[in-house]
Structure 1
Amino acid sequence: MKIKLNLQPQHYKGIRLQLIERGYGNRKAKRFTLNGTNQNVWIPNKHLQPDGTIIEGENIDYIFRKAQRQMGIAGYTQAIPGIKRKTVVTT
């Protein structure tokens, strides 16, 4: 029996995430887009329910700390406590 994935937008500390629909099979993580852009991060299944919903109370800050470039491109330039400092935009 195939599990129906949660493709609705989810939020973690103000970051908008949406699961990408694909065949994950036995993969150990699922891929999420950031803020509706084509920037993405992989979140390990240990932090997710079988349908791809982020488990309430999980601390996944480390995933976003490693994805600073993707966060900036996706439009997250403000400070997010525990994840990133404010990005100075120069023109």
Structure 2
Amino acid sequence: MSSIRINSSDQYYKGILLNCISRRSYKMNKAKRFTINHTNQNVWIPNKHLLNDGTIKYGENIDYVFRKAQRQLEIAGYTGPIVGIKRSTLTTHGINK
């Protein structure tokens, strides 16, 4: 029985840089963990949207995963709008109230 090698190379979803984290426990889990933009921020993507090696299936709609993780996207450096996922982040830096 051979183990499946995890695809930890850069993957993009709507311009968001993702890397699958290699773990031994993925056989038991129903999702795989991905880092966002090479930061310590992460999201879990259900296996139904992934190939066995952690590659995101072509044409999959996983917007809902990122809609729930908007704060992680902001911390990872994605402050602009992403179609279907988030509006731009409003910052108050330099604005006097």
* TM-score normalised by length of structure 2: 0.91
> Any gaps of 5 or more consecutive residues in structure 2?
none
RMSD in angstroms over aligned alpha carbons? 0.6
How far 1:21 moved relative to its partner? Answer: 1.0
Q: Look up the match of 1:58.
A: 60
Aligned counterparts of 2:92 and 2:43: Cα–Cα separation in 1: 25
Q: Look up the match of 1:3.
A: 4
Aligned counterparts of 1:56 and 1:28: Cα–Cα separation in 2: 19
Aligned counterparts of 1:20 and 1:4: Cα–Cα separation in 2: 11
Runs of 4+ in 1 over 2 A off after TM superposition: none
SS in 2 for 1:69: helix
Q: Deviations over 1:6-44 (max 9, x none)?
A: 010100000000001111122000000000000000000
Aligned counterparts of 2:27 and 2:50: Cα–Cα separation in 1: 15
> Any gaps of 5 or more consecutive residues in structure 1?
none
Please state if 1:81 is matched with 2:83. yes
Structure possessing the higher radius of gyration over alpha carbons: 2
Count of matched residue positions in the alignment of Structure 1 and Structure 2: 91
